[in-house]
Amino acid sequence: MTEENTDRVQMQDVYKDYGTNHVIKDVNLNVKNNEVVVLIGPSGAGKSTVLRMINGLETTTKGHILIDGADISQPHVDINRIREKIGMVFQHFNLFPHMTVLENVILAPVELKKADKATATAEARKFLETVGLTEKADAMPASLSGGQQQRVAIARALAMHPDIMLFDEPTSALDPEMVGDVLQVMRQLAQQGMTMVIVTHEMGFAKEVADRVVFFDGGQILEQGTPTEIFDHPKEERTQSFLNKVLQA
């Protein structure tokens, strides 16, 4: 088993350019086992890009990203095998609209032969119970509320038994009254010791669950530390002004 202090994710001197636009500049970020890291910062700061680089949805222009020691920018590394260990939850849920909730959850385990259909189904029901949606197993995604869809998306990611979970602004597209249910599910995961990287604007939630908060600005990490360090005693002026703006709102 991975030890407590091992780095599951290592980003080393990572750069990302879109033509002449440098969106990520020299980012070094490690995520330890069981650690909950929350990325905050203004829009366009590169938080989501960094998150998407961790499972290879974005490529790097320069630098290395290691997942459990394997460099995903190397061609011989099977990115599909690595992704099986990394669950991802998107801002817009991205449920498969032509499948029922249950089919959404069992698709990957069955297709990738992680489980036979009966086992996968039994497990899927368990995950749906975890996110509080047992009764929606046979519903189509379009008939669910945003909050319900996002919780299905979390169950779908959990069904692959990931070691790491990535959350890309999971509550940004939700009506305010839906946010609580989703955060509650994420809180449970954190308590169970899931390694998580979260991009969010929910500062209260970040303060509560994060082991470490990382502040991004202009494609770079400006400062990082414990929630207390960042929220109560920010060192950088940019961090202070950002927090003032979001906390006032």
Partner 1 sequence: MQRKSFVTGLFVILAGLFLTLWSAKPAQAAEKHYTIGTDVTYAPFEFANEKNQYVGIDIDLMNAIAKTEGFTVTIKPVGFNAAVQALEAGQIDGVIAGMSITPERQEKFLMSKPYYNVGVVMAVKQGSKIKSLKQLKGQRVAIKTGTAAANYALSVKDKYGFTTVTFDDSNNMYQDVTTGNSVACFEDSPVMQYAINTGLKLSIVTKPANPTGYGFATNKKNTELMAQFNAGLKKLKANGQYTKILQKYLGTGSKKSQAAANKKTQETDRSFFGLLKANWGTLMGGLQETLLVTVVAIIFATIVGILVGLLGVLPNAFARGISITFIYIFRGLPLLVLALFIYTGVPSLIGAKVPAFLAGIITLTLNEGAYTAAFVKGGIEAVDVGQMEAARSLGLPFGKALRKVILPQGIRIMVPSFINQFIITLKDTSILSIIGILELTQSGKIIIARNMEGFKIWTMVALIYLVIITLLTWLSNWVQKKVQA
Check if the beta carbon of residue 53 is closer than 8 Å to that of residue 73: no
Nearer to partner 1, 78 or 175 (CB): 78
Nearer to partner 1, 107 or 246 (CB): 107
Nearer to partner 1, 163 or 223 (CB): 163
- Tokens at 83, concatenated: 């992704």
What's the min distance (Å) between Cβ of 155 and partner 1?
12
What's the min distance (Å) between Cβ of 166 and partner 1?
8
What's the min distance (Å) between Cβ of 78 and partner 1?
7
Nearer to partner 1, 99 or 243 (CB): 99
Beta bridge partners of 10: 30, 66
Nearer to partner 1, 5 or 80 (CB): 80
Applying CB under 8 A, which residues contact partner 1?
A: 55, 57, 78, 80-81, 83-84, 86-88, 90, 92, 94-98, 107-108, 111-112, 153, 156-157, 160
What's the min distance (Å) between Cβ of 17 and partner 1?
19
Nearer to partner 1, 83 or 212 (CB): 83
What's the min distance (Å) between Cβ of 226 and partner 1?
29
DSSP the chain: ---TT-EEEEEEEEEEEETTEEEEEEEEEEEETT-EEEEE-STTSSHHHHHHHHTTSS--SEEEEEETTEETTSTTS-HHHHHHTEEEE-TT----TTS-HHHHHHHHHHHTTSS-HHHHHHHHHHHHHHTT-GGGTTS-GGGS-HHHHHHHHHHHHHTT--SEEEEESTTTTS-HHHHHHHHHHHHHHHHTT-EEEEE-S-HHHHHHH-SEEEEEETTEEEEEE-HIIIIIS--SHHHHHHHHHHHH-
What's the min distance (Å) between Cβ of 18 and partner 1?
16
How are beta strands 36-40 and 7-18 bridged, if at all? unpaired
What's the min distance (Å) between Cβ of 88 and partner 1?
4
Nearer to partner 1, 167 or 215 (CB): 167
